[in-house]
Amino acid sequence: MSTPPTQRDLSTTATDSGKSGRYNQSNLGFFGKAFFKPFPARGFQYKGQGIKRTWKEKQSTYTQKTGKRFSATNDYKEVQQDIFDSRGRLARILFNRLIKNQQLGEKIPIIRLYPDTVNVLYFSFVALLIYGVLLYLKDEFGVDYDFRQDHKKDANWREYISFVQSETRESLTSNLYTRLPLRYVSRAWGKFNSMETPDLIRVPMMKAFVWFFGVNMQEAYVSNVEKYKTINSLFRRRLAPGAREISETNFVAPCDGKVLSFGRLDDENSYIEQVKGIDYSLKALLGPNKRSDKIGLEKMVSLKKMDETDYRESWMQDPVKNDLYYAVIYLAPKDYHRFHSPVDWQATERRHFPGDLFSVNPSIASWLKNLFVLNERVVLNGLWKHGFMSYTAVGATLVGSIKIYFDEEVLTSKQYPTSQAHKHKGDYFDRTYPEPVQLEKGEQIGEFNMGSTVITVFEAPKDGFVWNFEGEGDKVVLGTGLNKLEIDKLVKVENVEIPVENVEKDQVKNDDE
């Protein structure tokens, strides 16, 4: 029976360790530990310095921890590696991460006193991430916001919008970009912005947002950033009284922003310009026309094969004397995020297209085809004194929520796990108002949560309508006159003359009041 090897306890101490130890060189005691990197003791100032062990005890036939025998190919280091490996790959990754976190904590002032603080923050972040994933799964696979009892897809619209989508995905870059989960990101961002976070987090974020984008808070109804309870309330802030003047011209800017494109739709120009070299169809923007269906036009020809001229004239009141005009205005993050009525008109119907939430930034619009007709949008159709009027609010990345003040049934940026209504399968949500909604020039219609795009398409005389724009890229503010057409004193809708001064309007109840 062999006797166990003799255990020798060796100890080494630094010279004069009481005065020249690891931390005392700073001469600050406790604070020196917090703000200064530890110094080695004088006895061990250089690598390799110390007592060199030159003796070697006789090895035991078994290791102390595993009981495995030594062999010519299995020394103690390999056995310890086996112990480490036996914990599993996941455990090894976790342990290595914790060790690195602790090493990082030892290099940071203040935290150096409690290096495990980094690990606490690490686990807190992981827990928050898991919690967010669980909320996302509950939200995505919980309620389907397609509340239609009789769910019928429009086969005509599905055929056409599928063709538009395939046209957009022709290039590799566009194909990859259109498959990103931007709807999920936007919905998560919206929920975060609606949370009442602590002032320690919320106020710095708001001030950073105002500084980075150059937001003019002096024109806001509440100019003090700290007064806003959520980040979302800052995005959809109200304007101070008198901050905008409504022009006396016939047609005014419905919002603050930059003019992306404008023009006339006629026999020579049948498409709306997105940017130079890229355009899209009016059919893709507004969808099937109910009036054309009543006269049998869509029954004879599918929407995909329908001529652009026939489709355009199906909306118009007087195709002989009038043309359709359009203006596309982009709202940047710094802009005022509410949108208003550009004219006195009546909204008779609403159509909500669930869809994608691609970025509408001009840098993306310059290469992604059919951007505005694939994104989620709310279209208001009606009549004004010269005929047809269409007002479209387009959603975007991080701006999926579109609110229409007089229509609470509009629910945007929602999930459709069952119907898949947002995947361009022929779905849209229509509503015809029992009574036309009277909207006066400058009246609030709705709001975005961060900023997006407003597209107006309207009927006006062929002669006499002149844009006030100098060119694309012009900056406009709410109430700026967009044309030089003379003002009529009567609003003619469906052959009924309504004095402008007697047009009734419903008072909009704002969340901030």
Exposed/middle/buried for residue 460 (C-beta within 10 Å: 0-12, 13-18, 19+): buried
From 292, 359, 413, 452, the catalytic residue: 452
Distance, CA of 460 to CA of 469 (rounded, Å): 17
The amino acid at 392 = T
Q: Is 86 a catalytic residue?
A: no
Integer CA distances (angstroms), 314 to 160, 387, 449, 455, in order: 18, 12, 34, 19
The CA distance from 303 to 120, in Å, is 59
Q: At what angle do helices 117-140 and 182-193 cross, to 10 degrees?
A: 110
Residue tagged active-site, from 247, 292, 340, 413: 340
Asked if 16 is an active-site residue, the reply is no
Residue type, 289: N
C-alpha to C-alpha distances, 24 to 27, 44, 431, 493, nearest whole angstrom: 5, 15, 77, 88
Mode of pairing for the β-strands spanning 496-499 and 490-493? antiparallel
Pick the closest to residue 98 from 80, 71, 116 (CA basis): 116
Sign of the CA dihedral with 59 first, then 65, 71, and 74 last: negative
Residue partners of 103: CB distance under 8 A and separation at least 6:
115
> What is the 3-class SS of 35-56, one letter each residue?
HCCCCCCHHHCCCCCCCCCCCC
Which residues have C-beta within 8 Å of that of residue 122, sequence separation ≥ 6? 97, 98, 101
State the angle between helix axes of 89-105 and 117-140 in degrees (0 to 180), rounded to the nearest 10. Answer: 130
Which residue carries 């009027």 as its tokens? 389
**Dist CA 328 CA 279 (whole Å):** 12
Closest CA to 41 of 8, 81, 12: 12
The answer to whether residues 197 and 229 touch, using CB atoms and an 8 Å cutoff, is no
From the list 153, 151, 140, the residue with the least C-alpha distance to 183 is 140
Q: Which amino acid does the sequence have at 345?
A: W
Determine which one of 256, 323, 335, 427 is catalytic. Answer: 256
H-helix or E-strand containing 493?
Answer: strand 490-493
Known active-site residue 256: yes
Active site residues: 256, 340, 452
